[in-house]
Amino acid sequence: MATVVLDAANVATVSSGILRVQRLEAALEYFQRLNVRCIAFAPRYWVDGLQVFEDDATKATLRALVDTDKLVLTPPQAHDDYYVIDYATKHDGYVVSNDMFRDHVMHKVHIIPVSLSCTLSNVEVAPLQWAHADNRMGKD
């Protein structure tokens, strides 16, 4: 079974640093409907800090995602990109992110430029096409 690893900070960001947890939920649900194993990584301060999500409902949603093993919180002061890349590498997975990871490419020579072109609305993931001949996601 294929694994998809979400860069939660990137997936949930709308613009100007505004985060919408609904976008993260939509991406997780999208891959769940496809029966694709999906996990997201986000900085721990999303739940513990006061600056990012101040409302209790959003923090409760994030805690629920953590409790169901859909979201992993990275340690303070850690670069969450490393966790995303390492997990995807260890599980032969795909990374979903708009981040080009240019600052990581030199350190991870086994990263292959494979991409799924898609867009995220507030509540839906809209895939455009599979851009790789290797059919690891099980699509024809």
Using the predicted structure, report yes or no on whether residue 120 has a pLDDT greater than 90: no
Using the predicted structure, report yes or no on whether residue 119 has a pLDDT greater than 70: no
Using the predicted structure, report yes or no on whether residue 140 has a pLDDT greater than 60: no
The CATH number covering residue 100 comes to: 3.40.50.11980
> Is 95 exposed, middle or buried (CB count within 10 Å of its CB: 0-12, 13-18, 19+)?
buried
User: Does 139 fall in a domain?
Assistant: no
Question: What range defines the domain where residue 66 resides?
Answer: 3-130
Domain count of the fold of the chain: 1
User: Does 137 fall in a domain?
Assistant: no
User: Does 65 fall in a domain?
Assistant: yes
User: Does 135 fall in a domain?
Assistant: no
**CA 114 to CA 133: how far, in whole Å?**
9
Given this model, what pLDDT does residue 108 score? 54
Q: Give the mean model confidence (pLDDT) for residues 107-114.
A: 52
Confidence of residue 78 (pLDDT cuts 50, 70, 90): confident
Indicate the helix (H) or strand (E) that contains 80: helix 80-90
**CA 13 to CA 21: how far, in whole Å?**
9
